[in-house]
């Protein structure tokens, strides 16, 4: 999602409050789709960066997945979605891939960064965690010349597209935004439960997996006394002016 064809977007139009990064074109919807919709509903500018085009997936062509991703971004209210074009099923935290990721971080200039957590069932998610974490730090080094001003996101949180991994740092109430999360996931018609899509079945295209999305959101919501929630993780302590609730 970019500025109108033929128009050159301003720096303000390119910048976002929050940038969510996924390894594949549906990761952010699975992990933090409810949060992203909540943020845009509250007036924050949200961007999405997919590191790969998902070209190694069993279902859906690159073109289909790109169109699905843009439609999902529109449903979530994101102002911009980009793709870094890194190789699917071969992500790694290398200097080459860092240099290809840094320009996106500097272009979006987020105040908050959301990235996949490590120790995930998909190797790309683990690689994306380390790649994005390190690229975000390096994006703040002026001597790495990309023709852009340096930018290091002040705050980074991590999410799991599929799993739970210990106690999260935060659980966000997404009760009002859960249906929007499902709508964004349905936009990825080639990937998730969709009996009318003629292709081989996969783990995430099963009805069982689709039902688990609601179960997982309800599980996290139950921890904070709400209907649905999404979990965020952090490295180290989180500083606040006052304890939440005051």
CATH number for the domain that contains residue 188: 3.40.50.10320
Asked if the structure places residue 116 within a domain, the reply is yes
Asked if the structure places residue 106 within a domain, the reply is yes
Q: Please count the structural domains in the chain.
A: 1
Task: Confirm if 46 and 40 have CB atoms less than 8 A apart.
Answer: yes
Q: Which residues contact 164 (CB under 8 A, 6 or more apart)?
A: 216, 219, 231
Question: Which pLDDT does position 245 carry in this prediction?
Answer: 83
Question: Which pLDDT does position 4 carry in this prediction?
Answer: 39
CA distances from 233 to 111, 117, 122, 216, 236 (A): 17, 8, 18, 16, 9
Question: Which pLDDT does position 2 carry in this prediction?
Answer: 44
Task: Confirm if 233 and 133 have CB atoms less than 8 A apart.
Answer: no
Q: Is 26 helix (H, G, I), strand (E, B) or coil?
A: coil
Task: Confirm if 156 and 112 have CB atoms less than 8 A apart.
Answer: yes
Q: Any idea which residue has 């709400």 for tokens?
A: 226
- To the nearest 10 degrees (0 to 180), the angle between helices 178-186 and 62-76 is 160
Asked if the structure places residue 4 within a domain, the reply is no
Asked if the structure places residue 241 within a domain, the reply is no
Task: Confirm if 25 and 65 have CB atoms less than 8 A apart.
Answer: yes
Q: How far is CA 87 from the centre of its chain?
A: 17
Query: What range does the domain containing 135 cover?
Result: 11-232
- Candidates 148, 149, 117, 146; CA nearest to 133 is 117
Asked if the structure places residue 154 within a domain, the reply is yes
Asked if the structure places residue 141 within a domain, the reply is yes
Which neighbouring-strand residues pair with 173? 229
pTM: 0.94
Question: Which pLDDT does position 152 carry in this prediction?
Answer: 98
List per-residue pLDDT tens for the chain, 246 residues long. Answer: 543 344 556 777 789 999 999 999 999 999 999 999 999 999 999 999 999 999 999 898 999 999 999 999 999 999 999 999 999 999 999 999 999 999 999 999 999 999 999 988 889 999 999 999 999 999 999 999 999 999 999 999 999 988 777 899 999 999 999 999 999 999 999 999 998 888 888 988 999 999 999 999 999 999 999 999 999 999 988 888 998 888
Which neighbouring-strand residues pair with 113? 19, 156
Task: Confirm if 67 and 179 have CB atoms less than 8 A apart.
Answer: no
Run of H or E residues at 46: strand 46-52
Q: How far is CA 114 from the centre of its chain?
A: 6
- Residues 25 and 178: their CA atoms lie apart, in Å, by 19
């Amino acid at each position: 999602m970019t500025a109108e064809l033929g128009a050159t977007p301003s720096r303000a139009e390119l910048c976002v409050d929050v940038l969510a990064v996924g390894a594949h074109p549906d990761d952010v919807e699975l992990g933090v789709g409810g949060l992203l919709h909540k943020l845009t509903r509250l007036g924050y500018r949200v961007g999405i960066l997919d590191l790969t085009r998902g070209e190694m997936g069993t279902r859906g062509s690159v073109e289909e997945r790109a169109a699905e991703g843009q439609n999902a971004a529109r449903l979530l209210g994101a102002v911009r979605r980009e793709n870094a074009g890194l190789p699917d099923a071969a992500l790694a935290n290398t200097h080459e891939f860092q240099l290809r990721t840094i320009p996106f971080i500097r272009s979006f200039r987020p105040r908050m960064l959301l990235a996949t957590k490590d120790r995930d069932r998909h190797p790309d998610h683990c690689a994306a965690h380390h790649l994005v974490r390190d690229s975000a730090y390096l994006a703040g080094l002026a001597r790495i010349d990309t023709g852009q001003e340096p930018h290091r996101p002040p705050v980074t949180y991590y999410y799991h597209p599929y799993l739970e991994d210990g106690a999260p740092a935060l659980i966000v109430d997404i009760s009002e935004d859960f249906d929007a999360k499902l709508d964004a996931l349905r936009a990825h018609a080639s990937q998730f439960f969709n009996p009318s899509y003629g292709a081989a079945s996969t783990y995430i295209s099963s009805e069982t997996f689709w039902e688990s999305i609601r179960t997982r959101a309800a599980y996290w919501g139950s921890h904070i006394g709400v209907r649905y929630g999404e979990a965020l993780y952090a490295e180290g302590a989180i500083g606040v002016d006052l304890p939440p609730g005051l």
